[in-house]
Structure formats: C-alpha cells, structure tokens
Amino acid sequence: MSFFEKLMKIDRRIIFLLIFVGVAIPLIVALNFELEITQPVRKVHGLVEDADDGAYILLSFDYGPSTKPEIQPMAIAILKHAFERDYKVVCSALWPMGVLMCSEAIESVKEEYPNIEYGVDYVNLGYKAGGLVTINHMGKNMRETFPTDAANNPISEISIMDNIKNLTNFDFIVGFSSGSPGLKEWVQVAHDAYGVPVAGGSTAVQVPSLSPYLNRENQLVGLLGGLKGAAEYEKLIASPGTAVKGMDAQSIAHLLIIIFITIGNIGYFVTGKYKQKRL
Amino acid sequence: MKRQFPLVITFFVGMLVIVSQFIPHQPFGHLSDTLESWFLIISGFAILLGQLNLLKVNIIKIHRKSRNWQYYIVCVVSFVVMITIGILWGTQDQPGLLGQGSALVSFFGRKPFDYIFKYFFENLSATMFSLLAFFMASASYRAFRARNLESSLLLISAVLVMLGRTTIGTWLTGWIPENLTYLHLPQIADFIMKYLQKTGQRAIMICAGLGIVGSSLRIILGIERSYLGGK
C-alpha cells in the first residue's frame, strides 16, 4: 500500500484529534491574526454610531444556547456601543431561549456600565410566539403584543416604553438570529412594511440566505456574519471580547479543513481513483 | 361536515387577510388585527401542545422499550425537573409558587432553573453544535473531491470563501499593496458572496416565494387538504 493510499484511509479519530489540538492551542496562546473590517459590518457600526442622541433601539434575541458562542459576542458588542451612546434599549425575543440570552448579555455589560437602570435605560420584554405575525402586530401596537415585560411588570409602569407605541417609534432594529423566525422576518415586516431600518447579526451558515437583503434599498442595512462579524465589530468599538479571541481558533480550524481537502484531493488523483471513476 | 367546516373557515380567513392587505379600512383592517391577536394566542397554546406531545411520544417509547429507550428516560426526567423547578421557584425575576427561593439563590448564586439552564443546558447545546466542526473536518477529507467541473468550481470557491472569512485570509494577503486590494482574500470572498452567491440565492428565494404563493392558494381554495389529517 502506497503512502497516499494509507493517507486516504487515515483513521478519522486522528482528524478529530488534529482539529481538537488546532482549536485548543489558539484559545490558550493568542495568535493575534490581523482582522480586515468588511463593508456590511462597517454599515451596522455606522447605523448605531450615527443615530440621534437618546435614540430608541429594539434588539431582538432570536437564538438559543447552541449558537450562543457565535452570536452572543455580537449582542454584547452592540449593547456596549448602544449604552456608550446613551441609547434606550428595548429587548424582545422570537425564540423562547432568547429571553435568557438577552438577560445574560445585559448582565455581562453591567460591570462596564453600572449606571444603566432597568426600565429607564433598557427593558427585556420577553418572548412572544408567532414569528412574522408577532412582528406585524408589534408594528401596529407594541402594548397589545407585549402587555408586560419578561418579569410580568405591566408595560404602562415601565418609563422607557412611554414613547413607544409601535415599531415606527424605534430609530432602528437589530436582530440577532440563528434561524427562523429571525432576521429575515424582521426585514420582511419591520423594514418592508413599516420602513424601520433593520440591521443584524447571524450565524455564518445563515449569511448566504440573508445576503440578498444587503442591497441598494437597504432592506438590511448591514450584517454581522458569524464569529468574524462579531470580532470585526468588537474591533470597531475598540472592545475586544470573546469573538476576537475565538477567531484565531476558528481560523486554524478552517485552515486545517482546507489542508484536509487538499490532501484528500491529492490522494484522490495520485492513487488513480479519479481514473476509476471516469471508466 | 367534519372536513367541510374547517375548509370554509380556511377560505374565509385566508380571503379576509388577503383583502385586508389591499383594503386596510374598516371592517377589513379591524378583522385582520383581531385575527392576528387570535393567531398569537393560538401560537401560545401550540407550544403547550408541543410539550405535551413530546412527553407523550417519549413515554410511549419508554413503555414499549423501543431501541435506546433509556435515552428517552433522560429526556422525560430533564423535562419534568425543569418544569417543576420553574413552577416552584420561577425564573430570573419571576417568582414561582414558593416565591423567589432566596435560600437556594444564596446557595447556587442564581435560581435553580437559571442555574441548570446556564451551567448545564447552555454548555450541552453549544457542545452539540461544536461537534459539527469535527464531522465537517472528517467529511471534507473524505468527500470533498474535484470529481468534475462543477465540483471543482464548488471546491475552489469554498476554499477561497473559507480563507477569506477567517483571519488567515488577511494574514496571507494583507501584505498586497493598497492599489491591488481586489487580490486580498477577504475581498475575493466578498466578491463571491456579493455577486455569484447572491445571484443564485435570489433565484432560489424568488422560486420559493412563488412556491409559497402557490401552496397558500391551494390551501385557501381547499385543493390542498393534508393539514386536516388523513389522506
């Protein structure tokens, strides 16, 4: 058996081990690769940066713990940016787990912004089932859609909600999404039907399905795609967090996968399997 | 009657929602709003129904000792434990039947439900998702081959996008002068995503949209009846 034939039959546990080592080492020893900021991330940053003082913004947490490592850094970075600019932050969720994701994100920025006050600077409205229909209902009447917040306090007693009647009262919406219902629904209803600017962050695998909305009509103003999008945003606000740290590990994992693909293809051609298929 | 009545309701409600999009004035606008409110309420009940169904399916599998029935016990026990502690002590700021559970909060650092969610469920979920990386690496080694022109194009674009979407891309091509930025791997990846990928994606989305319109009309007109159950 030739070297390449042996290589083609390599035990998959060796591949698993290489991936494990490739991911673990950069998490222990930072490699600090340089990051290039892409246009969709710059646009999200511009939207948050250029809003009026005291702007009201809606953050929708439409993801669960499985995609938390990828999306939570985006939410934290946007929250930091929003609180830095003294915006009023209203959080909601189209996914049941999104409520806790929101609480954890706010909890993690509270150390940096100890003066933010619940009900005055931010509120967690909680989860509402219904997806697209819920967003449409929010566009008509926020109080009917969310009569109470996540802790069952009546909306009428929460001062931040005094000026919010429907979606059009928000300066912009940022959706954090890992599936459906998520960012696509926010674009289709909040932007297309009510004209509210929508930006967002999603898992890397979702980016291809969302990219058509990044167009001249600005259906989606900007998009943070996967961990890289989050890392770019962290770099833009000069607050490196878990995304910047995780990018080295993700980059090495991708590089390893590319090396595996290359070796696999070299073996495929050298061992003559290419010809066998043709015959 | 059992099948005809739901068909009539579907037709009436479907047509009403369509008409209200074109004539948002009274009474259509108000009726459409009311239907939306009903939908939100029914969606809430659907979650409860889903939970009961999950419990029923798992209990049946345990009772019949289906293959790997032991795993279903784990599911049922986890389900019951989470619901029970959620009802007893609530979650986050919401009190449960036994109040806020201050003694437990001082012991665990947070409410029992939140503690299990954060330190068990979150990590298990993230682990399951992370395992994909290992399987992807193994699959890429064994299956991702340049067998013909189409797969070669897919392979090349996948490698370029993968490199461009990580810091490796910047590291490899960051030294290229400013006037040749289009040769930077992140820029090449962006080009592929912005023009080639987006074009195909738009075509898929338009087709899917037309498909949804067609399916919706079939349901409203009573041609498609599989949602009623049976054949």
pLDDT, tens digit, 9 for 90 and up, residues A89-121: 999 999 999 999 999 999 999 999 999 999 999
The CATH number of residue A64's host domain is: 3.40.50
A152 shares a domain with A127: yes
Instruction: Say if A50 falls within a structural domain.
Output: yes
Instruction: Say if B138 falls within a structural domain.
Output: no
Instruction: Say if A122 falls within a structural domain.
Output: yes
Task: Domain of residue B38: give its range.
Answer: 1-66
Q: How many CB atoms lie within 10 A of CB A201?
A: 32
Of A54-68, B28-42, B71-85, the one with minimum mean pLDDT is B28-42
* Residues A214, B193: Cα–Cα separation, whole Å: 11
Indicate the number of domains in chain A: 2
Average pLDDT over residues A38-58: 94
Instruction: Say if B157 falls within a structural domain.
Output: yes
Give the pLDDT of residue B92: 81
pTM over 0.90: no
- Which chain A residues are within 8 Å of B158, Cβ to Cβ? 261
Convert the pLDDT of each residue in B200-224 to its tens digit. Answer: 999 999 999 999 999 999 999 999 8
Task: Domain of residue A274: give its range.
Answer: 3-30+250-278
B161 shares a domain with B202: yes
B156 shares a domain with B96: no
Interface pTM, i.e. ipTM: 0.80
Beta bridge partners of A224: A201
B74 shares a domain with B62: no
- Given a contact cutoff of 8 angstroms between Cβ atoms, the answer to whether A94 and A127 are in contact is yes
B33 shares a domain with B107: no
* Residues B40, B58: Cα–Cα separation, whole Å: 28
* Residues B193, B172: Cα–Cα separation, whole Å: 20
- Which chain B residues are within 8 Å of A34, Cβ to Cβ? 167, 170-171, 174
**Residue recorded with tokens 């037709």:** B11
Q: What is the mean pLDDT of chain A?
A: 91
DSSP A88-134: EEEEEESSTTHHHHHHHHHHHHHTT-TT--BTTTEEEEEE-TTTHHH
Residue B31 exposure: Cα atoms within 13 Å on the Cβ side: 16
Q: Which two tokens stand for residue B2?
A: 């059992």
* Residues A44, A198: Cα–Cα separation, whole Å: 9
Cβ contact A152–B94 (<8 Å):
yes
Partner-chain residue, chosen from A144, A247, A260, that has the shortest CB–CB distance to B141: A260
A262 shares a domain with A218: no
Cα nearest neighbour of B48 on chain A: A129
* Residues B227, B231: Cα–Cα separation, whole Å: 10
Partner-chain residue, chosen from B91, B122, B138, that has the shortest CB–CB distance to A15: B138
A254 shares a domain with A190: no
Out of B16, B50, B66, a domain closes at B66
Instruction: Say if A272 falls within a structural domain.
Output: yes
* Interface size, chain A vs chain B, as Cβ–Cβ contacts under 8 Å: 164
> Measuring CA to CA, how many Å separate A241 from each of A78, A230, B8, B77, B119?
12, 9, 56, 37, 20
Helix (H, G, I), strand (E, B) or coil at A234: helix
Measure in Å the smallest separation between the Cα of B60 and chain A Cα atoms: 26
- Given a contact cutoff of 8 angstroms between Cβ atoms, the answer to whether A70 and A230 are in contact is yes
- Which chain B residues are within 8 Å of A257, Cβ to Cβ? 136-137, 140, 162
Cβ contact B126–A66 (<8 Å):
yes
Indicate the number of domains in chain B: 3
Give A274's pLDDT tier (boundaries 50, 70, 90): low
